Structure 1
């Protein structure tokens, strides 16, 4: 397959490089285009008021200077490259994209941008045991997540995922032989209890950090949170349509 890979952790991130190497070793033709720096939580932001510069690093590796994940995929699929791609894979993200994470995730946004442009897309993330959106120091089993992508590719068919939908894949941070299978899931939900962290810079000015993600509360059986806790790969079909369809009838009656 001719595969385009992007991410939100940046072109030098370990996850994207292990994924690219694994797919190439499996015989796939891989082109990588990613931000020149970490753009986590960039969501679907496109750069519209400044020019974008693309630097070619190697024959099949490109970086977009000051670009977002969505910028990268948008450029790649709208004429930057002459070749046609069969699939877009975003990742391997350095941390979870579970539940509400998908709203903010640059990893998911890169995949959604590809799907918006009519390509089948997968977003893949490596999940810490505490469901953290960032990997802590320690052993990171990116090879496990890369092998899972290969497993999924073997089952991909043109009509497997509906138009405008992507597969959001979360892989437990364990060895491949410790995985307990694959589960098709729905997005769970976190508490919106993230606190800002106030600090001082070297000039004694007050600065703020966005705090960690909230605690999962809708994390029972059937959710992505539950699956990864069982050492299962979670695959959630998601889409960009944010219409609250269940409210349309009541609103029509009122208005």
Structure 2
């Protein structure tokens, strides 16, 4: 199975974690449909919170849903990372020039990158050497207005297609769900954590179950260098991310900890 494409146009792979039916991925395609040959490979249903999960021990299906002009849509029963791996292995005879993930319904700022299926897919692209960008809008509304995302989506895609990205770096771009944006801030992710609270409920059969709730605890709300501050003040945040999680400055500390006395 191979996706139709031209050797003369950039090849752009798009995926998401909200599923093939989500508005965000279809709006993303419309925003960049003139920039290259586009192949969408997305999960058949929402896979939020999947991070970099892989499907192990189950058969994966890959089905062509639609093809028109320079755009193809495929669905699979796998995770966002499965979408990337499967498409690279089965659909293409050359490496994509750009990988896009999103546009996610909901922010992926701060430590959310650890849990995000959107950014899991972008990081997978980063691992295998494809310039990759994850896009997220700060609204969980299934029918959210994505129109004010268009400018930053097109600008970032054009720049990355022309110039690439540093090795092992992808971009986490979050866009506030407001009509009038103040601009762009390249920043770092805020330090904080999610308070994972579980709401205890009873099902119709009288059995216990638990529903994940909680909220993000920002440990540095006044720090203007962070993505959380940028988003809270009406800016688009761009955080360069890497799949290398080595804490390089702490290597001497750990060497000392394990040094033979």
- Asked if Structure 1 and Structure 2 have the same fold, meaning a TM-score greater than 0.5 normalized by the shorter chain, the answer is yes
Aligned to 1:122: 133
Aligned to 1:131: none
Please say if residues 141 and 174 of structure 1, whose CA atoms lie closer than 8 Å, have aligned partners that are also in contact: no
Gaps of 5+ in 1: 129-134
Please say if residues 95 and 126 of structure 1, whose CA atoms lie closer than 8 Å, have aligned partners that are also in contact: yes
How many angstroms apart in 1 are the aligned matches of 2:137 and 2:170? 17
Please say if residues 194 and 216 of structure 2, whose CA atoms lie closer than 8 Å, have aligned partners that are also in contact: yes
Please say if residues 77 and 117 of structure 1, whose CA atoms lie closer than 8 Å, have aligned partners that are also in contact: no
With normalisation by structure 2, the TM-score equals 0.88
1:63 aligns with 2:75: yes
Structure index of larger Rg: 2
Cα displacement (A) at 1:157: 5.5
Cα displacement (A) at 1:127: 1.2
Aligned to 1:132: none
Q: Where does 1:91-110 land on structure 2 (aligned, <5 Å)? A: 91-110=102-121
Q: Where does 1:1-255 land on structure 2 (aligned, <5 Å)? A: 1-24=10-33, 26-59=34-67, 60-65=72-77, 67-128=78-139, 135-136=140-141, 140-156=144-160, 160-175=164-179, 178-219=180-221, 220-255=223-258
Please say if residues 125 and 145 of structure 1, whose CA atoms lie closer than 8 Å, have aligned partners that are also in contact: no
How many angstroms apart in 2 are the aligned matches of 1:229 and 1:170? 11
CA RMSD of aligned residues (A): 1.8
Please say if residues 3 and 88 of structure 1, whose CA atoms lie closer than 8 Å, have aligned partners that are also in contact: yes
- Tell me whether 142-151 or 219-228 shows the greater mean CA deviation: 142-151
Q: Which runs of 4+ in 1 moved over 4 A?
A: 157-160
- Tell me whether 117-126 or 149-158 shows the greater mean CA deviation: 149-158
Please say if residues 194 and 213 of structure 1, whose CA atoms lie closer than 8 Å, have aligned partners that are also in contact: yes
How many angstroms apart in 2 are the aligned matches of 1:51 and 1:226? 43
Q: How many residues align?
A: 244
How many angstroms apart in 1 are the aligned matches of 2:49 and 2:129? 23
With normalisation by structure 1, the TM-score equals 0.89
Cα displacement (A) at 1:217: 2.4
How many angstroms apart in 2 are the aligned matches of 1:165 and 1:39? 24
How many angstroms apart in 2 are the aligned matches of 1:194 and 1:113? 26
Change (3 A) 1:146 1:7: farther
How many angstroms apart in 1 are the aligned matches of 2:194 and 2:31? 37
How many angstroms apart in 2 are the aligned matches of 1:192 and 1:152? 29
